[in-house]
Chains A and B, each alone.
Chain A
Amino acid sequence: MADRSQHPGQIMETQTRYDLNTAFENWRAELAAQPNLTAEVRRELETHLRDAIAGFQQRGLNDEESFWLARKRVGQPPQLGEEFAKADPAAVWRERLFWMWLAIFLSGTLGSLASSVTILIPIKNYTAGMATQATSILLASLIPIIIAVSLARGKWLALFSKMTRLVENRLRLIIAACICVALSSSVRIAAFAIINARYNDHSSSFILQGFVSSIHPIIILLLLAWLLPLQNQKIPKHA
């Protein structure tokens, strides 16, 4: 210690050797492991930790000391998780349900698209019919499976983070989802129109078919708009 104080340059060196970024990453990972802390809360706590570190640094403490003290003041991640869960136990589940229903909505839209396309394939016999149905199911489930696997393996994270902007507020979510519903419904209407024309059958109204098939996605859409995590509902009105 005495030796060090005689060489200010050496102190600087030991200070920079403490990697604040790595410490930050570790803390962030620890926080992310708390199931009760939503992404929004974690982001808020992170800005708080940064402010606290800056505050200690201003008072002349080095990186390591500042980080250590700030971390201590912010609290242990498990305790933070508990406190937040106590304050709003439903919030965590609301967010989970939101993403769950969003996935159901998207796979439903995909399924509807796939089945609309596959009903156009002329069915000659029972086996061919089963094959068509299997293709439809495969088509509808392949994309969600690819997305789920790549997300779970940590690929395309940046792309998906950008995609989440679509659900940043209610208006955007509703517009994006309405486009999905309109698209799948019009494909369905078109498919039924083609089928009706092909068999010269005008007994069923394909327009009605289209409307009926959009009831389910619209119900899910309303549920999604209601479940939308609170922090995403912000409509900036405060300058």
Chain B
Amino acid sequence: MYKTSMLAKDMVAASAKPLLLSILAEGESYGYEIIQKVRELSGGQIEWSDGMLYPVLHRLERDGLIESEWKEADTGRQRKYYFISTAGRKVLKTERQQWLTVHNTLGKLWKHKPVTI
């Protein structure tokens, strides 16, 4: 009935914070790379627009969860790199627990009634 479609808008918005923090927890990155990574990891189902990504990044930075720095890339051009802060790692830990709670709860409910698409 339902096609595997793009993630709903509110789901994209809610998952942006844990996704960004998790990506940056693996190492520093920059806007373009982050979008590519999310697209790749989600198999193209989560498509972030730049207009949405940068305000979120800047908000996380303002909240002290991530930090940024202009650095020269291999290409010789300057890029703004983001990296996670200690406070960010703490928040990620809590977020992770909360998402796992949702995931596990839904998992238990769905285990007995496998969803057929």
| Interface assignment of A83: CB less than 8 Å from any CB of chain B | yes
Within 8 A of B (CB), among A78-93: 79-80, 83-84, 86-88, 91
Contact with A along B41-79 (1 / 0, CB 8 A): 000000001111011101101100001111000000111
Query: 30 A-B contacts, Cβ less than 8 Å apart?
Result: A44-B31, A44-B54, A45-B50, A47-B31, A47-B32, A47-B77, A47-B79, A47-B80, A48-B54, A51-B30, A51-B31, A51-B32, A51-B79, A73-B50, A75-B51, A83-B51, A83-B52, A83-B54, A84-B54, A87-B56, A87-B59, A88-B58, A88-B59, A230-B62, A231-B68, A234-B68, A236-B69, A238-B28, A238-B67, A238-B69
Looking at the assembled complex, report how far the CB atom of B8 sits from the nearest CB atom of chain A, in whole angstroms.
19
Contact A87:B55 (CB < 8 A) given known A48-B31, A234-B68: yes
Q: Which residues of B contact A75 (CB under 8 A)?
A: 49-51
Contacts of A88 in B (CB 8 A): 55, 58-59, 62
Residues of chain B from 67 to 117 with CB closer than 8 A to chain A in the complex = 67-70, 77-80, 83
A52 at interface (Cβ–Cβ under 8 A)?
yes
- A residues with CB within 8 A of B: 41, 43-45, 47-48, 50-52, 55, 73-75, 79-80, 83-84, 86-88, 91, 230-231, 234, 236, 238
Question: Smallest distance from the beta carbon of B57 to chain A beta carbons, Å?
Answer: 9
A-B contact sample (6 more), CB < 8 A, given A75-B49, A83-B54, A88-B58: A45-B50, A48-B54, A84-B55, A234-B70, A236-B69, A238-B67
Q: Would A50 and B55 be within 8 Å (CB), given that A44-B31, A45-B50, A73-B49 are in contact?
A: no
Q: In the complex where A44-B31, A47-B77, A230-B62 touch, is A86 in contact with B55 (Cβ < 8 A)?
A: yes
Complexed CA–CA distance, A180 and B92 (Å): 45
A216 to chain B, nearest CB (A): 30
Contact assessment for B83 and A230 in the assembled complex, using a CB-CB cutoff below 8 Å? no
Would you list the 3 A-B pairs with minimal beta carbon distance, nearest first? A87-B55, A51-B32, A75-B51
- Indicate the size class of the contact surface on chain B: 20 to 34
Name the B residues within 8 Å of A48 (CB-CB). Answer: 31-32, 50, 54
A41 to B68, CA, bound (A): 13
Q: Give chain B residues whose Cβ lies under 8 Å from the Cβ of A41.
A: 54, 58
**B49 (CB) vs chain A CBs: closest residue:** A75
Q: CB-CB < 8 A to A236: which residues of B? A: 69
How distant is the Cα of A55 from the Cα of B37 in the complex, in angstroms?
13
The smallest C-beta distance from B3 to any residue of chain A, in angstroms, reads 23
Taking CB atoms, residues of chain B closer than 8 Å to A51 are: 30-33, 79
Distance between Cα atoms of A44 and B50 in the complex (Å): 11
User: How near does chain A come to B89, taking the closest CB pair, in angstroms?
Assistant: 14
Bound-state Cα–Cα, A231 to B79, Å: 13
CA A44 to CA B31, docked complex, whole Å: 8
CA distance A238 to B56 in the complex (A): 21
A50 touches B50 (CB 8 A): no
Docked pose: A145 CA to B56 CA in angstroms: 39
